[in-house]
Structure formats: structure tokens, C-alpha cells
Amino acid sequence: MPRISLPDFTACHLLIAAFALLLFAVSGPTARAQSASDVVMVLPFENTSSRPEYNWVGESFADSIAELLNKPGLLVVSTDERELAYQRLRLPETVIPSRATAIKLAREAKASMIVIGTYSVTPVEAETKPGETKPDKDKSATEAYVQLTARVIKVNEGRTLGEMFDGNWATRQFDFGGPLTTLQNIQGRLAYQILYQRDKALPFSQNQLVQEATKVPQRAFEAYVKGVQLGERDEKRVNYLKNALRFYADANGGAIYTQAAFELGRYYMLDGKWKDATEYFTKLQKKDGHYAEAAFYAGLGYAKMGDFGRALAALVPLSSDVPLIGIYNNAGAVAVQASREEKKDDERARLLAQGASFLARAAESSPDDPLVHFNFALALFLSGKFAEATDQLKPVITADPRDGQAYFLYAKSLEKTGKTEIATAADDLARRYLPSYAKWQTEWQKSQSVSGVSLRMRDVLNRDDVSDLMRKNAIAANTNPNSGTEDLLAKARELYQAGRDDEALPELHRVVMLEPTNAEAYLLSGRINQRRGDQEAAIAALKTAIFWDPKLIDAHILLGRIFLERGDRGEANKYATSAMTIDANNQEAIALQRQVTMGKN
């Protein structure tokens, strides 16, 4: 039997499948709605062996299984959300919680399911020949065996996931074992079984999930997990993470292990080494999990180094994708500061207007944030809108009655609007609370400028805000599944163009699961299978693409080429003709027709 990556449907089969899907939607909406509402949280597994050097394995389950369970119809509590839940309950992240505490954590993270587990690691004594030295007690991963047990608990019901059997509730326990070097393979199989137990109509196989689980090379994976287990300022953390980057790049033609790059960026940021930090933060792309934080901190780093152009290049696009107050504030503050240093009048005016626009949005969304209102007041002041600036400064002074900079700017704004008496009173307070008042006042008297007043950057992106937004977006994607297909297709196209076919195919499966009539997904699957030499699978996918979009000329052309390669000129001619009918000026269609007719009598 040939291997088929996407369903091998004839037109009749497709219609039957579509009818069955429609029938299912009509007969079982409650079950499907319940399924889509599940939120799963994966906790670190407990090490029951007396080998603390393998504690990293437990954390690796929490991160890897969570990522693998992140499939349409199921919301997953991210690592950041899990850490926040620990913090809110004042639990050390190194503590393995009891079942009752695990349920509390899940409720804190608004999860309806939790995955918990235990594991043990048994070193295997290597054989020694006569005259050889006995190996050290500290065994490597190649000489260890891991055995694990996992369970899924339904939070609201307080019981383990299972099913009715002979009128009784039978719980489901997952048991796996194997060499520690196959840990990712085990995690892929475990994730598949959890998903299958929840929904037996999965649109992908266990092998596909294992492929997803093992996409990071084993040595890179182990180095990364060990690195993030260490303290944020531990120097050994850097060595592990750099090794993870190197192992990953060596195995993937120089590609970036983005999780490791992000953690390295955070390490250098906490150490105040902004040049190194931005180098790693900018390695992340929009599709990567920590992209929002990486772009935010890259923008912050560039601003601290005085490179406002790069800072804006990081923050402005991010403000559209992640509309949070902190991002608006920093984008606005950077634009305003850039305008203050710009020599050209037109560009200075443009930057100031851009900064004021960002800060206006931030102020509207956060009426009680003094940092935002201070920056907006300065932008308004520089724009000559002095009365509006005073309005923005009032809540700043109310929040901190000892804010000397705010009093100084308030006094000068009042002075510009002719409110001399109030301006004098504010100026007296500025003189009291502002150490550099004399210098600033001298500058003001000479040039009516306030260059000493500095903009206020947000140094931390609130993870709560990011998590809430990501959760909101995930809920929206589950409510309207088709909204995520474009992102999945874009990712699949990128992987295909990079030659990473094994990673592209699972993305295409997700597209088809969300939108069974998506012709482009079948076309791209056909291209991948044709490149891999699986002509039967390619033909099946391309015919399905044409069924859903008869005018998809690329599918006609590719089918014609495949049949020509197989020596079936009749079928090749049929698809060459249909391609020419769709677009007689298409150069690839013309070339195919010439190839088909060559050698004919």
C-alpha cells in the first residue's frame, strides 16, 4: 500500500465525507462544543528515583507535552501561565504539587484538565572488559532507562480521565518506557495517547506527532532543558544554552533554536548587556512562541543603546500584533525621543506625530497609568499643545506628589497658557523636588526648551497581559477555526520553501482539519509528496485540490508533469489542456503542452 500523507479522496468520497461531517455537526454539537472548551495544563513530572541529576526530565515533560497538545480544539496553558499560577499560589516552581494542589493550580490557570506524572531513571551499568577501568557512576543519557506513568485529571469532576466499561468508570493510565535518548519519542507517543483518549477521531497519526516531538535534535533538547533549570543568573546556564544552539544548528543546516536564543537574550538583558541581548532577541520570528517578548525587549535594548531606528523597527510592527499598553508606551516614547534628536524638520514632525499617536492610544486604554500620561504630556508639550499637556500631568502629580519632573513640565505648560499664578506654585514644588532644577530652569530661560525632561520607558512586559491576550486569541481561533488557517498555511509554505517537508505536513493536516475544503493545502501537500517521490500520494492530493478549486492551475500543471513523468501521455495531455483552458498565457502551462506534444506523430 502506498503511503498517503493527506486523505486519498475521489470526488465521490469527498462528497460522502462532507455529508458525514455535516451529519456529525447536526447530531453532536454539544459534544463538539464541550471538546473545544477544554483547557489543559501540564505539570512537571515527579522524579521517583534517587537520581537528582535527572530532575531535568520532569520539567521537559511539562514543556514538551504542553507544546504537543496545542492542537485546534484544545487550549493549552503555556509555560509562562503555569509559572504565574505557581506565583499566585506562592508555590516554589521546584515543588511537585500534591493532587489537591495540582487541581488548585489548574483552577488558578482556568484549566479544565491537568496532566500529571511520575518517572524513574535507571542507569545501566556498562560492561567492562578485563583490564578496562569501570565507568564513572555519573552515567550519560545513553546509559539510562526511563520509565513513566501519566494520568489526566478532569478538574471539575476531580477524577482521572477514562471511560465507562460494563457500567463502571474505568480510569486510563499511560505507561511508557525506553532509553533516555528516546525521551522525545516517548513524549510524542504520550501526547498522542492523551489526545486520542479525548477524541478518537484525530486527523493525524501517532507517527506524525512523534515527528513533531523529535524535530529538535536530542542533544540540543537535553542541553536546553538542563540550561533553563538553572538560575537566571547562573553562568552555567549560558554554556548549556549556547550548546543547545550549536547542536541544533549543526543538525539543521545552521537554523536557529529559537527557544534557546530567547533564554540567552533574557540572560544578557538581566546582566545589562544589551548588545548581546538584542542579538539573540532578534533571532526570533513572528511565528515563534516568545516573539512578542523578544521584540519588546529588543526594542527596549536598542532604545537604551540610542539606536532609535531599530527600536522603532521592532516595536511599531509589534504594536499591531500585540496591542498592549506597555508596547504602545515604549513605541511612543522612542518615536518622541527620536524626534527630539532629528535634524530634518519634516522627519521630526512625522516622528513626533507618530509618538503622540501611540501615547494617545495608551492613555485612552490606561487612564490610571502615570507613566503613560507623563510621556503623552511631554509629546503634547513638544507639539505646542500646552493646555492638553496640563490635563495629562494632573493624574501624574496625583499619583506621586513628589515627582519633580512632572511639576517642572506642569509649571512650564501653565506658563505657556498664561496661568501665571498656578504656574508659580507648581514651579516652587518643582524647585523643591527636582535636584537638577537650577540647570533646567537656566535652559528654559535661554531657549524655552525642556531637553532635560526624559521619557519613561516600560522596562518589563507584563507576562499576565501577554498570557491573557494569547489566551483570548486562542479562544477566538477555536470559536472561529478558519481564522487560523492563513497562519498555518504561511508556516507550511515557509517550511516547504526551506525544504523541511516533515515539519510542513503536520501543519497542512491542521489546515485540512480546520478547513477541509482548503485547496491550497492539498496543492502544497501534492508538491511535497511529488518532491519526496511519492507520486500516488501527490496525485491524490492534487486531484482533491482540483475538486475543491477547479481553476487552481498549478494543480493541473503539476498533475500533467507527474503523468508525463510516468509515461501516461493521455492523462498528461488532459491536464495540459485544462491548464491552457484556465489561462492560455500561463508560461508553465504552455511549456507543459509543448512537452506533451513533443514526439507525437
What pLDDT was estimated at residue 127?
A: 52
In tens, the pLDDT along 459-488 reads: 999 877 887 777 776 666 565 545 567 778
What pLDDT was estimated at residue 500?
A: 85
* Chain centre to alpha carbon of residue 102: 25
In tens, the pLDDT along 47-91 reads: 999 889 999 999 999 999 999 998 877 888 888 888 889 999 998
Cell of 591: 511549456
Across the chain, mean pLDDT equals: 85
In tens, the pLDDT along 540-552 reads: 889 988 988 888 9
Q: Which of 112, 205, 190 is nearest to 147 (CA)?
A: 190
Mark out the alpha helices in 163-289 (DSSP H runs): 183-198, 206-213, 218-229, 235-251, 258-270, 274-281
What DSSP assignment string belongs to 390-458? HHHHHHHHHH-TT-HHHHHHHHHHHHHTT-HHHHHHHHHHHHHH-TTHHHHHHHHHHHS--TTPPP---
Other Cβ atoms within 10 Å of 345 Cβ, number: 8
- Cα–Cα distance for residue pair 116/122, rounded to 1 Å: 21
Residue % of the chain over a pLDDT of 90:
57
> What are the two backbone dihedrals, phi and then psi, of residue 148, each rounded to the nearest 5 degrees?
-135, 155
In tens, the pLDDT along 15-56 reads: 334 433 333 333 333 333 334 468 999 999 999 998 899 999
Q: What is the CATH number of domain 37-124+141-215?
A: 3.40.50.10610
- Is the C-alpha dihedral spanning 456, 460, 466, 468 positive or negative? negative
In tens, the pLDDT along 147-167 reads: 999 999 988 877 787 666 666
- Quick check: 467 and 39 in contact, CB under 8 A? no
In tens, the pLDDT along 255-304 reads: 999 999 999 999 999 999 999 999 999 999 988 888 999 999 999 999 99
pTM tops 0.85, yes or no: no
Nearest 5°: the CA angle 593, 597, 601 is 165
- Summarize the chain as % helix, strand, coil (round to 5): 65, 10, 30
Residue reference for cell 453532536: 28
Residue reference for cell 538560575: 231
Residues of the chain with CATH 3.40.50.10610: 37-124+141-215
AA identity, residue 518: N
Q: Which of 399, 378, 403 is nearest to 388 (CA)?
A: 378
Residues of the chain with CATH 1.25.40.10: 325-460
Q: Name the CATH topology of 325-460.
A: 1.25.40
In tens, the pLDDT along 384-408 reads: 999 999 999 999 999 999 999 999 9
Inter-axis angle of helices 519-531 and 501-514, to 10 degrees? 160
What pLDDT was estimated at residue 489?
A: 86
